[in-house]
Chain A
Amino acid sequence: MSNELRTYSGDYDYLFKVVLTGDSGVGKTNILDRFSRNEFNLDSKSTIGVEFATRTVQIDDKHVKAQIWDTAGQERYRAITSAYYRGAVGALLMYDITNSASYKSIAKWMEEIREQADPNIVLMLVGNKSDLKHLRAVPTKEAKNFASQNKLLFIETSALDATNVDLAFQNILTEVYHRYSAQEGLSNEFDESKPARGQTISLTVQPDDSASKKSNCC
């Protein structure tokens, strides 16, 4: 895979669409900024509708491009944002560890995503703002239990100090990769997860690459 074309953003083996959901103010935009640009902005404005970012990561020897849709947390935008759940293969359900109301909302977010998204979607519960230890309102153990009961991945992150942010995305993308690549015959549905065309770049994978049949680029 040591091809210099790897450096181009359009060059990848898989494209996964992932959505970020959770109550307003839990840090969805900041975790995405941290992951996609390694930035944290104390002065960020509220998200209106949906915003978009990408980053390519390596899983096994494959380049996986995450196309991430950051949704507005306010109830009023639900009609708009829920349209973006369709075709998503992963979702981060985020809450703020210092805000128990945002944790209580997770059940509602989970239900909504399961109603609208692909049944194989991988969900991950993410407790953000782990740097604010002295203000913690949601015990790690409780969230962890909830996650395992509901078959969610779980992690606590801090967008501010970058703790676990890359790991969170790496974990969910890896799980998506395994879940989808393990299921033969899903390639069509998998392709539907591609939210947009236009990635008409040529693959640099070798012809014998077993996963190439699932590439979005074919």
Chain B
Amino acid sequence: MTDRNEYVFDESGGRGTLASSFFKRMSSSKESSVNDSDQRVVGAQYSPADALRLLNLDSAPPASTSLEKLCCHSYADSDDDWDADVDVVSSNRKPSKSIYTNDKRRSFSSQTTLSSKSNSNRQSQKSISLSQSPEPQNQYRSSRVQKFQNVLNQPNINIDALKKLAWSGVPAELRAIVWKLLLGYLPASSPFRLLKRKRQEYLDGVHEVFNNQPRDAIMWHQIEIDVPRTNPHMKLYSFPATQSALERILYLWAKRHPASGYVQGINDLVTPFFQTFLAAAAATTNIASTSTPNLTTSPINTINSSSTSKSKPATSNLKSDHACGSVDIENYDPAQLSSEVLNAIEADTYWCLCQLLDGIQDNYVHAQPGIIRQVRALRELTMRIDPTLVDHFDHEQVQFIQFAFRWMNCLLMREVSVGNTIRMWDTYLSEGVEKRKDELEGDKTSDVWHPPAAGTNGFRDFHVYVCAALVVKWSAKLKEMDFQDIMIFLQALPTKHWTETDIELLLSQAFMYQSLYKNAAGIAGR
């Protein structure tokens, strides 16, 4: 089994091959990959056949008709009419207007206010399509969106099927809804009925801890000094509306989880949720204010209509962009949105943070045993992958805890950009399945997709494999270094400007290690 994995990877992509060429080669070896159901391609939990089919499409289907509705649904529309006939702008969308084309990036880069950081980030938010020319890219993209839509449009959403798709990246415009489903915040059937209640529950909780209970001064002080130090290089996190939302979320979470309370680093973990949900809401507002007045006049869309009137300044230069997710979120002031929308984003962020941290609570209780376990597992794993690297660390007296503690505590968020973290979380959230493979009904590709064991947690287990891939990536370099240089290198990795392709390659590598070593004694995961 493990040999075969390695074999396939070598044959089709090769160790260390760039993902782009990996997939390109995949497309030229179509028959063997599709038909050999025993083969498993490392690095893509969705099947190679998927990638193949997408790349080989001669004519892509048009972008989904209800796509924007899906993505923006929860912030535009607070009722349950999942299939309401609001046909948003997709029919107007031209390929050249897609946020995924190079044209778009060029226009962004002319804005001098953007830091190089945010530029690189934007670049990282390009389509997961690895093809170079715009046409196949769009085809790939729209076909992927279609696949998501097919799953999402079912009355009872098949979460395992959704995970299978999402493992290799969720289209930005669908991310908010997909994440909520994957986290179990939204139930797979009649998803939106629950939202209203949960959002109110959050507001009540905030009211309770801020107005009816004595303030925990130490905890509040820590949150107060950490929030301004959260992603300080991004304008989004400097706005008062952002900071006060994060303060409320963190303080309520800390009060409700006294075993850990607020622990530094959790402030980082809030931001992918906040940013993703904010982007969905901002895009909704953007669409509503430019091309679909019927959305705002609909009596059921009170949240949306109240937000539209305030959505002028930052989005004005983006009005031509129809797609959800096209707002320049890194410089977006949330105060443009109505308080109702903001409250909804805040509540959703809170509940999703709860779901995430529930799975890794051991990381933040006294003595942080979860992290200690993860670091130990990382060492064991690295020992198997690259024993001479561990020998070198031992010789230099470098301990894994010295550099990997933060990798675990902040889920590598101090190492990679928020945009790339979001992409990583697509995969982390898709780890673990509820049903066995043969229960995946009507899924034609399940024969080449081997789902991970039920009960695994991407943030706890798969993350260790990602960390192993990360440290092994620089093995040759590290082996040349002494203690001091190793420490300084590992605590400031050259990953800040990584693109999404770099991240996907890392995830692929981690997946391969997981396939090879997950049953090995002492290694994280089951």
Chain A residues engaging chain B, CB cutoff 8 angstroms:
9-10, 24-25, 42-54, 67, 72, 74, 76-77, 79-80, 101, 195-200
Let me know if B495 is at the binding interface, CB within 8 A. Answer: no
Q: With A79-B366, A80-B401, A195-B397 given, is the CB distance from A45 to B483 under 8 Å?
A: no
| Contact pick for B402, options A47, A50, A54, CB 8 Å | A50
Distance of A200 Cα from B487 Cα, bound (Å):
16
Q: Which residues of B contact A199 (CB under 8 A)?
A: 482-484
Q: Which residues of A sit under 8 angstroms from B232, Cβ to Cβ?
A: 42-45
CA distance A169 to B401 in the complex (A): 27
Once the chains bind, are A45 and B409 in contact (CB under 8 Å)? no
Interchain CA distance A51-B395 in the complex, whole Å: 20
Q: A9-B484, A44-B232, A199-B482 are in contact. List 18 more A-B contacts (CB 8 A).
A: A43-B232, A45-B229, A45-B232, A46-B225, A46-B229, A48-B264, A48-B265, A48-B410, A49-B405, A52-B488, A72-B264, A74-B263, A76-B364, A79-B366, A196-B396, A197-B395, A198-B483, A198-B484
Query: Which of B264, B364, B395: most chain A Cβ within 10 A?
Result: B264
Cα–Cα distance between A197 and B392 once the two chains are bound (Å) = 11
Given contacts A76-B264, A196-B483, A197-B397, contact A51 B226 (CB under 8 A): no
Bound state CA distance, A104 and B85, in angstroms?
A: 63
On whether the beta carbons of A76 and B396 are closer than 8 Å, the reply is no
Contacts known (A48-B406, A79-B366); A74 close to B397, Cβ less than 8 A:
no
The main secondary structure of chain A at its interface with chain B is loop
- What residues on A are CB-neighbors of B356 within 8 Å? none
A selection of 18 A-B contacts at a CB cut-off of 8 Å is A10-B482, A46-B229, A47-B264, A48-B264, A48-B405, A49-B405, A50-B402, A51-B491, A52-B402, A52-B491, A53-B488, A76-B263, A77-B264, A79-B366, A80-B405, A196-B396, A196-B397, A197-B396
Contacting pair A76 B261 (CB below 8 A): yes
Q: Which residues of A contact B405 (CB under 8 A)?
A: 48-50, 80
Contacts of B487 in A (CB 8 A): 52
Q: Which chain A residue has the least Cβ–Cβ distance from B484? A: A54
Q: How far is the CA of A9 from the CA of B482 in the complex (A)?
A: 11
Min CB distance B44 to A, Å, is 32
B414 touches A (CB below 8 Å) = yes
Expressed in whole angstroms, the Cα–Cα distance for A46 and B406 within the complex equals 11
Known: A76-B364, A79-B367. A48 touches B414 (CB 8 A): yes
The answer to whether A67 touches B484, judged by C-beta atoms less than 8 angstroms apart, is yes
A44 pairs with B229, CB closer than 8 A: yes
Determine whether the beta carbon of B263 is less than 8 Å from that of A25.
no
Q: Is B398 an interface residue (CB 8 A)?
A: yes
Report the Cα distance A200→B484, complex, angstroms.
12
Docked pose: A81 CA to B156 CA in angstroms? 49
Q: Which residues of B contact A47 (CB under 8 A)?
A: 264
Distance (Å) between the CB of A73 and the closest chain B CB? 8
Q: Cβ of A74 and Cβ of B409 under 8 Å apart?
A: no
B368 within 8 A of A: yes
Which residues 228-266 of B have a CB within 8 angstroms of A?
Answer: 229-230, 232-233, 260-261, 263-265
Known: A52-B402, A76-B364. A46 touches B484 (CB 8 A): no
- B488 CB contacts on chain A under 8 angstroms: 52-54
* Residues of chain B contacted by A74 (CB below 8 angstroms): 222, 263-264
A101 to chain B, nearest CB (A): 8
**Inter-chain contacts of A42 with B (CB < 8 A):** 232
Distance in Å: Cβ of A165 to nearest Cβ of chain B: 20
A46 and B226 contact, Cβ closer than 8 Å, known pairs A74-B263, A76-B368: yes
Contacts of A197 in B (CB 8 A): 395-397, 483
Closest residue to B226 on the A side, CB-wise? A46
- B222: which A residues are within 8 A, CB to CB? 24, 74
| Assembled-state Cα–Cα distance A41/B225 (Å) | 15
Which chain B residue has the least Cβ–Cβ distance from A72? Answer: B264
Query: Please, how many angstroms separate the alpha-carbon atoms of A48 and B363 in the complex?
Result: 13
B368 touches A80 (CB 8 A): yes
Closest to B265 in A: A48
Q: Provide the residues of chain B in CB contact with A196, threshold 8 Å.
A: 396-398, 483-484
Min Cβ gap A82→B in Å is 11
Q: Which residues does chain B contribute within 8 Å of A43, judged by CB atoms?
A: 229, 232-233
Smallest CB–CB gap between A134 and chain B, Å?
20
Proximity bits, B455-493, A CB within 8 Å = 1, else 0: 000000000000000000000000000111001100100
Contact B414 A45 (CB under 8 A): yes
Task: Give the CA-CA distance A198 to B487 in the complex, in Å.
Answer: 12
Give the distance in Å from the alpha carbon of A79 to the alpha carbon of B366 in the complex.
8
Interface residues of B in 375-409 (CB under 8 A from A): 395-398, 401-402, 405-406, 409
What's the minimum C-beta distance from A122 to chain B, rounded to whole angstroms? 22
In the bound complex, residues from chain B placing their C-beta under 8 Å from that of A195 are: 397, 483
- List residues of B (270-326) whose CB comes within 8 Å of A's CBs: none
Q: How far is the CB of B398 from chain A (nearest CB, A)?
A: 7
Given A49-B405, A67-B484, A195-B397, are A79 and B368 also a contact pair (CB < 8 Å)?
yes
Distance of A77 Cα from B194 Cα, bound (Å): 37
Residues of A within 8 A of B398 (CB): 196
Tell me how far the C-beta of A26 lies from the nearest C-beta in chain B, rounded to whole angstroms.
Answer: 10
Q: Please, which residue of chain A has its CB at the minimum distance from the CB of B371? A: A80
Q: Would A198 and B264 be within 8 Å (CB), given that A45-B229, A45-B414, A80-B368 are in contact?
A: no
User: Is the CB–CB distance between B409 and A49 below 8 Å?
Assistant: yes
A24 vs B227: C-alpha distance when bound (angstroms): 13
List residues 395-437 of chain B with CB under 8 A from any CB of chain A.
395-398, 401-402, 405-406, 409-410, 414
Minimum CB distance partner of A76 in chain B? B263
A45 to B496, CA, bound (A): 14
Alpha-carbon gap, A45 to B226, bound state (A): 8
Task: Report the Cα distance A196→B225, complex, angstroms.
Answer: 34
* 1/0 contact string of B211-226 vs chain A (CB within 8 Å): 0000000000110011
| Distance between A186 CB and nearest chain B CB, rounded to angstroms | 21
Cβ–Cβ < 8 Å partners of A52 in chain B: 402, 484, 487-488, 491
